[in-house]
């Protein structure tokens, strides 16, 4: 068959404009290296790392906004929406927050004062630019019967830190949509715990408006039925849903192979089928889902290169290493 020269490439976000926004996680390098691709195909942006606590607030009296500001400026220039990521997390959070100058743990009140000052400063700075925040990230324990994972937050403040963070974020920007965000969100046991947490927040009148399904998935798991059940369960709380960090790894969770310099034809075909099925499912639930954000823009740069296997490349997104649309791209834009 003749190849079709200059086949015109639809904008990904326009292909879904009747359903939900299409976002990408970006950083100050990718907005330059993949700036054209990002500007064309995505209508919503998330800072990959630059708005995390450790990036913005390395010492009590020091805020470092330069990198985050570059991303916000790019979003403004190109008229993109922005999600904020993330206010409270057990990772990438500066040690000073939890400690007195002599290294002793701070009191709960002091931790809350510091959190308030962080949230006020950050959320108000980007009030005009950011319409939704991941307020609390990943507090649920993956395994076992415990609801919450151990963390400095839990140790010092007890479980009340979660409600506190939402209240502070709501005070700082009453218009912002506030999300609870987590991974393994479609695993039935963890799903039920996330549901329990968010339901109890709602029952206490805490301002939580949405659940972020991180959606770090692969070609084999989670099963579509589990994704469907998770969407339905979270939506039953009357909350808005977003996929916040979607990627489709080519490797099973426990696959340790590191021998591939490029994906096989079979892997590409499987990924195409998977992406097509996923987007069909997501569209069924478009009345609940407001945005689908990929954790990256194209396969040349993804956090899954080197993770969890050092030296292993991965190809989890819809655009290839040269920023060309993959078969998966065509399957999702031409879905019927």
Contacts to ligand GLA from residues 272-301, by CB under 6 A: none
Contacts to ligand GLA from residues 226-245, by CB under 6 A: 245
Site string for ligand GLA, 241-270 (x = CB under 6 A): ----x-------------------------
Q: From the list 214, 218, 271, 314, which residue makes contact with ligand GLA (rule: CB under 6 A)?
A: 214
36 among known catalytic residues: no
d(CA 175, CA 144): 36
37 contacts: CB under 8 Å, gap ≥ 6: 297, 298, 319, 323
Taking the CB of residue 53, how many other CB atoms lie within 10 A of it? 19
d(CA 276, CA 147): 34
CA angle 49, 216, 122 (to 5 degrees): 25
Q: What is the closest distance, in whole angstroms, from the C-beta atom of residue 317 to ligand GLA in the complex? A: 13
Site string for ligand GLA, 71-90 (x = CB under 6 A): --------------x-----
Size of site (CB under 6 A) for ligand GLA? 6
**Region class of 92: left (phi > 0), else alpha (psi between -120 and 50), else beta:** left
Nearer to ligand GLA, 183 or 276 (CB): 183
Q: What is the closest distance, in whole angstroms, from the C-beta atom of residue 115 to ligand GLA in the complex? A: 18
φ, ψ for residue 156, nearest 5 deg: -85, -40
Nearer to ligand GLA, 85 or 233 (CB): 85
Runs of H (alpha helix) within the chain = 12-15, 30-33, 35-41, 53-56, 66-78, 108-125, 152-157, 161-172, 188-203, 224-235, 265-284, 327-333
Contacts to ligand GLA from residues 301-330, by CB under 6 A: 303
245 among known catalytic residues: yes
CA atoms within 13 A on the CB side of 184: 14
**Minimal CB distance to ligand GLA: which residue?**
303
Q: From the list 183, 279, 315, 329, which residue makes contact with ligand GLA (rule: CB under 6 A)?
A: 183
Q: What is the closest distance, in whole angstroms, from the C-beta atom of residue 110 to ligand GLA in the complex? A: 26
Residue whose structure tokens are 């969100």: 185
Site string for ligand GLA, 120-139 (x = CB under 6 A): -----------------x--
- The verdict on whether omega for the bond into residue 173 sits within 30 degrees of 0, i.e. cis, is no
Check 185, 245, 272, 276 and give the catalytic one. Answer: 245
Q: What is the closest distance, in whole angstroms, from the C-beta atom of residue 197 to ligand GLA in the complex? A: 16
Query: Do β-strands 177-182 and 216-218 pair in parallel, antiparallel, or remain unpaired?
Result: unpaired
Nearer to ligand GLA, 234 or 276 (CB): 234
Catalytic site residues? 138, 245
**Binding residues for ligand GLA, per CB under 6 A?**
85, 137, 183, 214, 245, 303
């Amino acid at each position: 068959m003749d190849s079709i020269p200059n086949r015109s490439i639809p904008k990904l976000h326009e292909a879904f404009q009747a359903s939900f926004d299409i976002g990408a996680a970006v950083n100050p390098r990718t907005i330059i290296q993949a700036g054209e691709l990002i500007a064309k195909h995505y209508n919503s942006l998330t800072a990959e790392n630059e708005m995390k606590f450790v990036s913005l607030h390395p010492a009590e009296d020091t805020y470092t906004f330069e990198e985050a500001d570059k991303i916000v400026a790019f979003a403004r220039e190109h008229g993109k929406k922005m999600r904020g990521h993330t206010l409270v997390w057990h990772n990438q959070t500066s040690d000073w927050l939890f400690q007195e100058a002599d290294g002793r743990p701070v009191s709960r009140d002091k931790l809350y004062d510091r959190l308030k000052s962080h949230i006020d400063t950050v959320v108000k700075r980007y009030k005009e630019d950011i319409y939704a925040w991941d307020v609390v990230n990943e507090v649920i324990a993956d395994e076992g019967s415990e609801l919450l994972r151990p963390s400095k937050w839990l140790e010092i403040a007890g479980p009340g830190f979660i409600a506190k963070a939402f209240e502070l974020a709501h005070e700082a920007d009453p218009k912002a949509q506030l999300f609870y965000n987590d991974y393994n969100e479609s695993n039935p046991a963890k799903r039920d715990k996330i549901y329990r947490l968010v339901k109890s927040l709602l029952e206490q009148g805490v301002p939580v408006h949405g659940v972020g399904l991180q959606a770090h998935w692969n070609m084999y798991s989670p099963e579509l039925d589990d994704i469907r059940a998770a969407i339905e369960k979270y939506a039953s709380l009357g909350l808005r849903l977003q996929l916040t960090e979607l990627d489709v790894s080519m490797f099973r969770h426990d696959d340790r192979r590191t021998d591939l310099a490029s994906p096989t034809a079979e892997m590409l075909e499987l990924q195409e089928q998977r992406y097509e099925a996923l987007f069909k499912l997501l569209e069924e639930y478009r009345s609940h889902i407001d945005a689908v954000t990929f954790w990256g823009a194209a396969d040349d740069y993804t956090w899954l290169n080197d993770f969890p296997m050092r030296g292993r490349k991965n190809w989890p997104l819809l655009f290839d290493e040269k920023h060309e649309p993959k078969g998966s791209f065509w399957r999702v834009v031409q879905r019927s």
